[in-house]
Amino acid sequence: MTDTMQKIATNLYHGEDEVVAELVQEALDQGMAPEEILAGGLIAGMDEVGRDFKAGDLFVPEVLIAARAMHAGMNVLRPLLAEGDMPSAGKYVIGTVQGDLHDIGKNLVKMMLEGGGFQTIDLGTDVKPEEFVAAVREHQPQLLGMSALLTTTMPGMKATIEALEEAELRDTVKIMVGGAPVTAAFAEQIGADAYAPDAGSAVDIARSLVG
């Protein structure tokens, strides 16, 4: 990793959003490719955040601050990446299931995925099975993520998978589920492809599913 890339990754890790934006601009002025800066600086920095969050060395506030710094860098790169083919680890539709209005966990996962190079489509909270189906049909993502924080809303995940089967779209997308009451056993029981215990693991699991 070059010195500039290391500086971007380190400052991102510490949430220095203005410094990250300046360093990204500096790297562009030095003639570095936007794709190189994205992978070597921003994604590398967020990968480190993800690892330490997973290990319990970082907490939600630090992750949110790091994500803000990542977005500051992305704002500089986005117009240039849009001109070329923006490198993407994959397309990911995410939402909290019907009847559930909790979104902190979902938003964390979304930020970690964006930091990992995924293009995310966030459907928000209280998403009905047919809304997930419509989003899969429209966006044709490789991955679909569902979150639930209440045991009473967990059946919404099974209902969504059944709706995708009915629409003959189930085989087109890998399904990840997560949330406080959700378990790996439940994920298997409803026919999901994977269970993510936390936002830090979500990126690794998503990468393994599209790899």
CA–CA dist 79, 87 (Å, integer): 13
Per-residue model confidence (pLDDT) at position 16: 97
Going by pLDDT thresholds of 50, 70 and 90, the confidence category of residue 2 is confident
Q: Which residues contact 91 (CB under 8 A, 6 or more apart)?
A: 118, 119, 120, 121, 139, 140, 141, 142, 143
Q: List, by residue range, all CATH 1.10.1240.10 domains of the chain.
A: 3-83
CATH tag, 90-210:
3.40.50.280
The per-residue pLDDT of the chain, averaged, comes to: 93
Per-residue model confidence (pLDDT) at position 78: 85
Q: List, by residue range, all CATH 3.40.50.280 domains of the chain.
A: 90-210
Per-residue model confidence (pLDDT) at position 95: 98
Alpha helix ranges (H) inside 14-128: 17-29, 34-37, 44-54, 60-83, 104-115
Burial class (CB in 10 A: 0-12, 13-18, 19+), 33: middle
Going by pLDDT thresholds of 50, 70 and 90, the confidence category of residue 154 is very high
CA–CA dist 128, 185 (Å, integer): 23
- What's the pTM value of the predicted model, to 2 decimals? 0.81
Average pLDDT over residues 53-65: 92
Tell me if 140 sits within 8 A of 172, measured CB to CB: yes
Q: Residues of the chain with pLDDT > 70: what percent? A: 97
Among 53, 48, 45, 49, smallest CA distance to 197 is for 53
DSSP 127: B
- Which tens digits make up the pLDDT trace of 78-135? 888 766 655 678 999 999 999 999 998 899 899 899 888 899 999 999 999 999 999 9
Average pLDDT over residues 24-36: 94
State the distance between the two ends of the chain, measured CA to CA, in whole angstroms: 23
Q: Residues of the chain with pLDDT > 90: what percent? A: 83
Residue 171 reports pLDDT greater than 90: yes
CATH tag, 3-83:
1.10.1240.10
